Amino acid sequence: MVTAKKMRSKGVNEALTWVSEHPLPSVTDPIDAPAWELITRNLFHIANSPDPRVRGSMARATRAQKIILDRMVGRRRPGSHPIMTGSESITFVDLTVGVLERGEDE
């Protein structure tokens, strides 16, 4: 039997947070699960397991990921500038130097 506390309705942000923290379903029988949990689990399933053989599946997964990201992280207020912390540069070592020299000798 599901307690009354679990059956309480949740907002979108609460439901997404709860499902992300609890990967296993709260009840074994899906008919006993609250609607918010079923919908949120389905959204996470669509976002995390696209089937490349099905037309539109990748676009559906991308759309679900965008919905989850916008609701959990938030969106930038229209007209505001993105946060700029400063410029940082990364220097990578050229890994092709030894390979190119050996290739010319052979």
Length of the chain (residues): 106
Residues 6+ apart with CB under 8 A from 58: 50, 52
- State the Cα–Cα distance between residues 73 and 67, nearest whole angstrom: 10
Helices (H), the chain: 4-7, 12-21, 35-48, 57-73, 97-105
* Lookup: tokens for 21: 């923290």
- Sketch the domain layout of the chain as residue ranges: 4-77
Q: Quick check: pTM over 0.75? A: no
Q: How far is CA 43 from the centre of its chain?
A: 10
DSSP state of 81: P
Instruction: Tell me the pLDDT of the chain (106 aa) as tens digits.
Output: 455 455 678 888 888 888 888 888 888 888 888 989 999 999 998 888 888 788 888 889 889 988 888 888 777 777 777 666 666 666 666 666 665 555 555 5
